[in-house]
Amino acid sequence: MAPILETPRLRIPRLGLGTWALRGAEAQRAVEGAIGLGYRHIDTAAMYGNEEAVGAGLAASGVRREEIFLTTKVWWTELAPDALRASAEASLKRLATPYADLILIHWPARGMDLAASLGALQRLKADGLARAVGVSNFPPGLLRRALGLGIAEIAALQVECHVYLWQEPLAALCREHGLALTAYSPVAKASVNDDPVMRGIAAKHGVSPVQVALAWLLTQENLVAIPKSGRPEGQRDNLAAASIRLDAADMAAIAALPKDRRLVNPEFAPDWAA
């Protein structure tokens, strides 16, 4: 089992299974297998096109729904209040569950009515469709605005975060406001496997560079990581990363790596420096 992060608005396993790019039977097997290995946190989204398979994996696992922390997300084209509500309801239908533990705005939309979208998000929580709500891919200025409006009880921020991209302004906001910071692409799409610094630390501990990358993230305050793996071996190794203890020399070596390598930057992405 992964360690648990408890914040004022959330109780969430610090290691979860990301499911981006997993589809159909592969996604169902991945979810069912991960839960069998001890995962209790599954992350999906409407845009991933796999919610039905994720729901089937949850059901086939035999583990009670209330023991699983399930996150899904509403796509940036569906942020008008009625569309946001319809998207969330459709996600829950596909997932075959009456509620998600966390529903996020997946990406901000340029020119979005932030207050209206946050109001619709909060109504999902008030009506029991979401146990908690939050946002994803918000730059610091927009997150600060969203928090300042006080409309939605924002419990979490999900962003790209790994040894090559540490987003301190966002991390500081999360610490200040008690938000969980969920790191997607936490092993930099496995590029850490080719890094001599990461390989050296891994060899010293008898683990893999991917495990070192996850262990480093778990040293950060209020941080949750959702590595994707469809293979039982990879899922097992990712879960085991929580038990790795990096020393001061390891931490210094990782701190010296560049921290500005963004891997996910679609054309609709916000101005990250805003």
Q: What is the Cα–Cα distance from 143 to 108, expressed in whole angstroms?
A: 10
Nearest-CA neighbor of 265 among 139, 148, 133?
Answer: 139
Annotated catalytic, 48? yes
Find the length of the chain: 274
- Nearby residues of 170 by Cβ (< 8 Å), 6 or more positions away: 138, 139, 140, 143, 157, 159, 181
According to DSSP, the β-strands at 10-13 and 4-7 are antiparallel
Block residue for tokens 């010293």:
204
- Name the H helices within 218-256: 232-240, 248-255
If phi over 0 gives left and psi between -120 and 50 gives alpha, with beta otherwise, what is residue 188?
left
DSSP 203-214: HHHTS-HHHHHH
Catalytic residue among 48, 99, 164, 184: 48
Nearest to 182 by CA among 166, 215, 158: 158
How do beta strands 180-184 and 69-74 pair? unpaired
For 128-245, where are the alpha helices, taking DSSP H only? 140-149, 168-177, 196-205, 209-217, 232-240
Q: What distance in Å separates the CA atoms of residue 89 and residue 131, rounded to the nearest whole number?
A: 14
Active-site positions read 48
